[in-house]
Structure 1
Amino acid sequence: MEGLVAMMSAAQNDLITRIGPGAPAGTLLRHYWQPAALAVELEGDRPIRPVKLLGQDFVLFRDENGKLGMLDRDCPHRGADLAFGRLEDGGLRCPFHGWLFDVAGTCLETPAEPAGSRLCERIRQASYPVVERSGIIFAYLGKGEPPAFPELDCFIAPDSHVFAFKGLIDCNWLQALEVGIDPAHASFLHRFFEDGEQDEAYGRQFRATSADSDMPMTRVLREFPCPEIRVETTDYGLQLIALRQIDDASTHVRVTNVLFPQAFVIPLSGEMTITQWHVPIDDTSCYWYAIFTSFTGPMNKEQMRAQRLELYTLPDYRPRVGRFNDYGFDPYEQHNRTYTGMGEDINVHDQWAIESQGPIQDRTREHLGQTDKGIVAYRRLLVAAIEQATNGLTPKMVLDPAQAAQIQGPSTMDGVGPSGEWEPYWRAVDQERRTSAPWAPKRKTA
């Protein structure tokens, strides 16, 4: 891959980025469960939310009995907006003429019709399977039965040990995802000139001390900016290993994963991992959804949420800083404290990097190098899966229950081990963390 230069055409770029109904990448993504909302968004007196997902408009709600439903947003009578509906009488009622729909899209009543009318028996609103997992409500927009959920750590850990959040990004989903497939960028984009106090590291990316070391990740990234990157294809997608040799005796090992088609799994600290999806709203905007999983004690959800609400506003989880205010850029800070001059939260750094590429990155202008080998490998998987999906074949990670039971973990790592034995070192550390987790004492390394 030495000197690899992008040769992508505009048509190829469209192929892998456009996700609307009928678009090839959209056809692929409709084979999978997609995060549609945080469960907390349906709490309160009115558990109804408009949702835009993969370029389509829906209404998501929880009925009076606690059942989840997601329907097309336009009422099948005359197209009024069901996101303004009323929860009553076992379903969601359109305020225009009172038509009532249950979570399955069945029309229960058309009350303004004459007595004896059987119109409602012929009406059905399009509905979509929805399920709540680890604080996220997932929806399935595809045809036929939805796939089984893989037995990932974030899905098998109890509610006490997971925390979910999300944030809005103003660009195409693919460039947002690809920042997580790039192990080299963190040494620059997320560089801090000083190391923070460890008692302030909880819940913050790249601030904790690496395993088996008193060296904080901030120092590792700052002093060793040229990692050796290894990429392996796995049953679930890709595993990426970034090696930063500290000295002849010790090497920093960071293991991350691409969970096909649109998520990655990375270490937050020695005790937590992050499983993060990048979910298209439409072609030029997306949400990131993340599940933080603790392998030790219960999650401090109040602290985690408070940290993140410092940067996002409700109800739409819009960032408080962004293109509209130059991402909080401060030249003095850039000279003295952080490489970007954009504050200490890495989500802001990532947001600048990917949004500055434009609404949809023009990949015909790219010049890729060795550090991009993970991105190249992912794009090959993506193109192959798009071809399978458009040809009626089953793409990667569309799982039946037996297959889903085999997709576990996946393992992550952030630690300093012996240079000559880094691979058995990181696997042993991961296995110890996994077997000592209170919720998964017998899980095997993935």
Structure 2
Amino acid sequence: MNPATLPSTAATAAAAAPRPSRRLPLPAWTAWVAAGILAGAALLPGLAQAQIGGNTPVRIGVVGPFTGPSADFGVPMLNGIKLAVDEINAVGGYLGRPLELVVKDDAANPDQGRKVSQELLADKVVATIGFCNTGVALKAIDLFQDAKSPLIVPCSTGTAVTTKYPPADSYIFRVQARDALQAPFMVDDIVKRGWDKVAIFADKTGYGEGGHDDVVAALAAKNLKPVHVARFDLGVKDLTAELAAARNAGANVIYSYTVGPENAVIANGKKALGWKVPQVGAWPLSFPFFLEGAKDAAEGALMVQTFIAEPSNERRASFLSSYSRKYQRKVAVPMAAANAYDATYLLMYSFLGIRDGNLTGKAIKESLEGKMKTYYGVVSTYEKPFSVQDKDAITRNMLVIGLVKNGAITFAYPEDAKRNLIIQRKQ
């Protein structure tokens, strides 16, 4: 659809949109939901002033690793954002103005991430969605903070990303479970299973550093200390010596904190040693680099998840169906795509809360922190995802433990599969 031919008001777009029906294809349901959102926004006083901009696109920055070792989850993140933007634009965009993505590849390199972030800000984007790698994010977020340009992070889990600045002043938001949530959640599961001798394997990036610290703190809260700690560089091909040392230290579980093929190096090395202890960790254990790189050695691994790709309700089924239809494949990293999709809609909802239609960084920040219209998302129903004092949309009750079974991710506990039928809301 040509943006120039889009209806000039959200109400017009909504009138033309299909009404929901069980007989409609699932993507049509999603389109109807988007139309209803925009129709409601057209009723707010003062929003029609946004028409002063005519069909001028609303430019939104996107930054992430779309090539290189972290493209595993960078590409699904980007695809989730594009899917949401396509749906929003199909029903009129922001009051007749199409959303336009300005996409920059950071290649999982901190220096490159800082460079392309400067480019995005020079391009005058109204806000940015992005960052998968914590080390890359931490190298660049000061640029967005100093420019007072809102940044919503859908993938990077490093605790420091949303704690670097005082919350009331911070322009950095996140739709993802920070490591300070993930680590205690997994440690609780480890203790419940009776695994009390933990070996930590963490890479030397900002992600691995922060994850290591969060795991150590979570263990300490249970009066435990790691029996062995291995630190390694990205790209390592052999960790046999460190695995043997962990085995000799009596470890009965390996907690890994890395984002790439190194997770598979750990699993394959453990198998080569004939050492049958479980491997647990954060969400990168659900990535193709691990599942395909380790194959049968990945079986039984446990990881923290916000979203497991099972169509437990209509909105999740619609998202999964729309994604596979648009990209002609199943989503490779469902969490990355779903969190990014929800982040995009939350940003759009913040626009709709700005009554004079002037999309300044300060206005977007205050709208995100305020009482936005409830968004019925994929990961959660977001009633008040952020506040002046809280920049993280995901809370512990939204987390589940995922399990590698037959090369795919499923629920580790049947009760979580049942609980997944009900969308968890922020606590």
TM over 0.5, yes or no? no
For normalisation by structure 2, the TM-score amounts to 0.26
Instruction: Give the structure with the higher percent strand.
Output: 1
Structure number, greater radius of gyration: 1
For normalisation by structure 1, the TM-score amounts to 0.26
Question: Which structure's relative contact order is higher, taking Cα pairs within 8 Å and 6+ residues apart?
Answer: 1
Instruction: Give the structure with the higher percent helix.
Output: 2
